[in-house]
Amino acid sequence: MRVVIQRVSEASVTIEGNINGQISQGLLVLAGFTNSDTQEDLTWTAKKIAQLRIFSDDEDKMNLSVQDVNGGILLISQFTLYALTKKGNRPSYINAAPPTVAIPLYEQFHQLLEKELGKPIPTGIFGADMKVALVNDGPVTITMDSQNRE
């Protein structure tokens, strides 16, 4: 599983002209899945995101988590995180899980992330044409791959 985490002062996702989800201070999480992802990958990533200390404390040091600042999380599915770009100019997505595998993984991950954060997490709609808007705070952008956790 791969994620891109952006610390935001606000973020939203619009689908067919309607806002489907939005947050103020918190994290925008783009999540991609592959065929080899397991429950362990989902659990590890959800815990890591909820506890990641990337918000500033009173001394302007990144010591606080999204939980500590009572922030939100906006979760968006993003199969393109598994793009292969070695050959040619058209990315291959062969390593991205097909929808029959990715949708259940995405739904499980969403539930785990809500459990870790302790509140509802708005999302986009898997496979929809989404317009994601954000104000990256910092900017702070972090990538994580559950296959590289050691």
* pTM of the model as a whole: 0.96
Furthest C-alpha separation in the chain: 48
Mean local confidence (pLDDT), 50-73: 97
Residue 6's pLDDT band (cuts 50, 70, 90): very high
Task: Find the mean pLDDT for residues 74-97.
Answer: 95
Q: What are residue 55's DSSP bridge partners?
A: 64
pLDDT bucket at 21, cuts 50 / 70 / 90: very high
Q: Which of 2-11, 112-121, 141-150 has the lowest average pLDDT?
A: 141-150
Which residues on adjacent β-strands are paired with residue 4?
30, 143
pLDDT score at 149 = 79
Q: Is 80 exceeded by the pLDDT of residue 140?
A: yes
Q: Is 124 helix (H, G, I), strand (E, B) or coil?
A: coil
Q: Reply yes or no on whether the pLDDT at 150 is more than 80.
A: no
Residue-range domains of the chain with CATH: 2-139 (3.50.80.10)
Beta strands in 65-124 (DSSP E): 72-77
Q: Which positions are annotated as active-site residues?
A: 78-80
